[in-house]
Chains A and B, each alone.
Chain A
Amino acid sequence: MQELIKRAKELLADGTVVRVLGWKAGDLPYNPEPAYFAKDTDFADFVYNGFCGANLSKYMIEASKMEGKTLVFLKPCDTYSFNQLLKEHRVEREKAYIIGVGCKGKLDIEKIKALGIKGIQSISGAELTDEAETLTVQTLYGEKTCAYKDAMLERCHVCKGKEHKIYDELLLTSRDTTDADRFAEVARIEGLSPEEKFAFFQKELGKCIRCNACRNVCPACSCRKCVFDSNKFDSSQKANADSFEEKMFHIIRAFHVAGRCTDCGECSRVCPQGIPLHLFNRKFIKDIDEFYGEYQAGEDVDADAPLTSFTFEDVEPSVVSTRS
């Protein structure tokens, strides 16, 4: 963490950048939030630890409109989002100074709580520089420990890799965290009967409170005006009309980000109801891989996106409609 602060201050001092986009400590030991830093004193509450899951690339849309360059810290997975935004002309490369930061997997506070660890006062072992495989948690009820791995976000178990896809310089090294099959859960749901599928989505999406956190955090959901907020479309009013509301919102959202979603997993991370929203996006990614060959959004800014490009080898519509 100190390396990041030191480098950020240097770049501010020599005028390379005029502000820094990073994470600052929240009111609890496990809820840091994205923040801008400009003065030396701002860095007092700068943090970078296992709870800094927030993907900062979306903030670069606004930062691209500001005067001068912004230093942004991006984890390997965040660089995919930045690239995708670059591809869609939403961010400006020359307005960003990207420091690719290392990552050893980000933590999911809900998983820690689920392990029975409550009344958390402080957590150690979450820093990238901590070699320990365990988290030590001071609680109202005494010290507790849990394996780092058991507290990781689902997305980190299916990590896309340690490589940063775009950066100006790199700081700190990453760790391999992949130990699960990215599409296993999607494949399981695909195997369900239509009734079971419906019940599954009914149960999960029924929890939605339409707080819009998933939409607001999503780097792909970056429209100037969301169709659900615009009175130009009937979709906003319709979304409130009946009990199908949440399902339609999420299904439309999944279609809107299809082919553009990098599977950063922010939607599921921020959902206060714990809905596994990433499964919708991953289903699209799986289908695209199967129909058009493997494609990772955000991996290569210049690559043709399968849903918006045409080749003579493209799958025939009849193939799509007849598959099981």
Chain B
Amino acid sequence: MQRIGVFVCHCGSNIAATVDVEKVVEIIRQEPGVVHAEDYQYMCSEVGQAKIADAIHEKGLTGIVVCSCSPRMHETTFRKAAERAGLNPYMVEIANIREHCSWIHKDVEEATKKAVILARAAIAKVNLNAPLKPGESRVTKRALIIGGGIAGIQTALDIADAGYEVDIVEKTPSIGGRMSQLDKTFPTLDCSACILTPKMVEASAHEKITIYTYSEVEKVTGFVGDFTVDIRKKARSVDMDKCTGCGVCQEKCPSKKAPSEFNRGLSNRSAIYTPFAQAIPNVPVIDREHCLKFQKGKCGVCAKVCQAGAIDYEQKDEIVTEKYGAIVVATGFDVIKLDNYDEYAYSQSKDVITSLELERIMNAAGPTKGHLERLSDGKAPREMVFIQCVGSRCADDRGKSYCSKICCMYTAKHAMLIRDKYPDVNVTVFYIDVRTPGKNFDEFYRRAVEDFGVNYIKGQVGKVAPQPNGRLLVQASDLLDNRQIKMEADMVVLAAAIEPNPDVRKIATMLTASIDTNNFLTEAHAKLRPVESPTAGVFLSGVCQGPKDIPETVAQAGAAAVKAIGLLAKDKLLTNPCTAHSDELLCNGCSTCANVCPYGAITYEVRQVNDHGIREDRRLAVVNEALCQGCGACTVACPSGAMDLKGFSNRQILAEVDAICQ
């Protein structure tokens, strides 16, 4: 029997306002095995921790139960306190009476009853706890960045500058990401390419950075400090070592009908292409879907004109396997599809466009060479309408519940730039709210209104209808004037909501990193660990974690880099001692556990066992403790109950259930 001490925390009023902590102490004191029980205002404070240490010394405690907040908050605190007082840290259990009890209940009597039950479950478990000792694992001093946009580039540069090897894996043929598609950036109106391309060049030239473009992460195994990743280098059909980037192949390619991804489908590109002029690497890829050679078997023009002999139609996908200590996800975003917003006539009129399409139209390298014109007839617009929050802040499931955060600012930017360049164009913006917190942001918006005469109307647009005269009828309401508006516009620009890159689901699954209902990756703690995933060794950079603009993305990218550097700087990590092990007398050798193990930690060997006097050779599961992460998948899959997890044994969990169901 353990000598157990129970410590009940008030957490100020967080717990004590709903749970009668003194009563909990009084009841728990009577439990078998409990030799000490007390409550205190802040158990996590120095004084609170000292109380635990004193009780360990004075009462000879062998097990500790702290009734407090979630173990994710302070389990480490209390384990360390116990360790300092000479107790094995794994003899400490937390009963979560805050998140699981006081915060979610109102009735004091009921909540108190539940707190007692949760404490009893923890006592039942600690009765069966055994001291555990962590092992050590090595750290591979190399980081993987998934995504080569501004977030990924910045994180890579920061990690590489600290002296560690970094690999960037980018799905498209060039790094640069969304930012490369933007024309100007708020609030200073620098040209996006002018500030991005130096970073791209720097990353490309950095001796510590390896860039895999046109590549995807295919498989991830391992764990913090020791990930093994398969990267699929898709067949480029162009030899990267031979290609000089002269561009003749793209000029001569007869297949020029492929929609340009870079220009959002507003112009066409050749089948062999680099996405944009400043692409890095400046090596084209052949889009086999549109290539005549691949589709029809004849052509081969690019191979004929290539002086370097770089074209290789036979090239195949290649798998590169590399080890990493840290992985940073920087998969970015896309704008939502507008299928659910047919009232804005996006699919009916070429003159209804998204803001990202407007970026391309305004850009000198875009489909109209930077001239603002209607895509339907090439005429200059006189009346432009911007509609905010298309799919953002949506109450139903048509769109997204969240604010996309960047739209207010880029709309102000577009409105201002248009008024500046084309003073004869009237610009009207329909908005729900204008949200411009941020350094020099509100000043920027006010300049659009006050200095550039942009007409802001609070109210949502109900319908955009193409008219026989080629213009667009916009029906809206002005909430401040309480009147209905009907106006004709030449172009309508939709501030479509942004959403995480759809690939992130697959990547999150491979990394066992969690994502929220909107497919944004979840942080380890929303406030205190915002750039770390709950999965150790996985960090978050940029919009994959939540909507943000370029300055915020760059700041977060740096933060993610620092966290990754903090990990890579270590030579060894302490491993979780809560690993699985198999009872050789119960093991059937059926391989079920090996099939479900996500870490490849289980192998089989034939070994002689002595089963109560019967000696025979049996096929048995063996757990590699260095690889096991203690997820417990094997223990529930094992039909015979041979697999068990240290610190979370079947017995301990059943004891908790029993204590709750008493």
List residues of A whose CB falls within 8 A of some B CB.
Answer: 65, 88-90, 222-227, 230, 232-235, 256-257, 260, 305, 307-309, 312
Q: What's the Cα separation between A90 and B587 when bound, in Å?
A: 11
With an 8 A cutoff between CB atoms, is B201 at the interface? Answer: no
Give the residue among A89, A222, A225, A257 with the most B Cβ atoms within 10 A.
A225
In the A-B complex, the 8 residue pairs with the closest CB atoms: A88-B590, A223-B640, A308-B595, A227-B641, A256-B639, A308-B596, A89-B589, A234-B654
- Could you pull out 25 A-B pairs where Cβ atoms are within 8 angstroms? A65-B616, A88-B590, A89-B590, A89-B591, A90-B589, A222-B588, A223-B640, A224-B585, A224-B586, A224-B611, A225-B585, A225-B640, A227-B641, A230-B641, A232-B641, A233-B641, A234-B651, A234-B654, A234-B658, A235-B654, A256-B639, A257-B639, A308-B592, A308-B595, A312-B506
With an 8 A cutoff between CB atoms, is B425 at the interface? Answer: no
Residues of B within 8 A of A226 (CB): 640
Measured CB to CB, the nearest residue on chain A to B637 is: A308
Q: What's the Cα separation between A89 and B617 when bound, in Å?
A: 13
Q: Is the CB of A88 within 8 A of B591?
A: yes
Q: How would residues 130 to 159 of chain B score, 1 for a CB under 8 Å from any chain A CB and 0 otherwise?
A: 000000000000000000000000000000
Known contacts A232-B583, A233-B650, A305-B595; 19 additional CB pairs below 8 A are A65-B616, A88-B589, A88-B590, A89-B589, A89-B590, A90-B588, A90-B589, A224-B586, A225-B586, A226-B640, A227-B640, A232-B641, A234-B654, A234-B658, A257-B639, A308-B592, A308-B596, A308-B637, A312-B505
Measured CB to CB, the nearest residue on chain B to A304 is: B595
When the two chains form the complex, which single residue of B583, B592, B611, B637 contacts A88, counting CB atoms closer than 8 Å? B592
Smallest CB–CB gap between A76 and chain B, Å? 24
A-B contact count (CB 8 A): 58
Q: Is the CB of A223 within 8 A of B588?
A: yes
Measured CB to CB, the nearest residue on chain A to B589 is: A89
Measured CB to CB, the nearest residue on chain B to A61 is: B588
With an 8 A cutoff between CB atoms, is B619 at the interface? Answer: yes
Residues of A within 8 A of B651 (CB): 233-234
**How many residues of chain B are within 8 Å of chain A by beta carbon?**
27
Q: What's the Cα separation between A105 and B601 when bound, in Å?
A: 45
With an 8 A cutoff between CB atoms, is B484 at the interface? Answer: no
Q: What's the Cα separation between A117 and B383 when bound, in Å?
A: 94
Residues of B within 8 A of A90 (CB): 588-590
CB proximity to A under 8 Å, residues B473-528: 505-506, 509
Smallest CB–CB gap between A128 and chain B, Å? 34
Q: What's the Cα separation between A308 and B583 when bound, in Å?
A: 20
Smallest CB–CB gap between A159 and chain B, Å? 27
CB proximity to A under 8 Å, residues B583-638: 583, 585-592, 595-596, 604, 611, 616, 619, 637
Q: What's the Cα separation between A226 and B596 when bound, in Å?
A: 21
Give the residue among A223, A227, A256, A260 with the most B Cβ atoms within 10 A.
A223
Measured CB to CB, the nearest residue on chain B to A312 is: B506
Q: Is the CB of B588 within 8 A of A88?
A: yes
Residues of B within 8 A of A232 (CB): 583, 586, 641
Smallest CB–CB gap between A262 and chain B, Å? 15
Q: Is the CB of A260 within 8 A of B619?
A: no
Residues of B within 8 A of A89 (CB): 589-591, 604, 619
Q: What's the Cα separation between A223 and B640 when bound, in Å?
A: 6
Q: What's the Cα separation between A3 and B2 when bound, in Å?
A: 69
Measured CB to CB, the nearest residue on chain A to B650 is: A233
Q: Is the CB of A224 within 8 A of B654?
A: no
Residues of A within 8 A of B589 (CB): 88-90
Given contacts A88-B591, A90-B588, contact A223 B596 (CB under 8 A): no
Smallest CB–CB gap between B629 and chain A, Å? 16
Measured CB to CB, the nearest residue on chain A to B609 is: A224
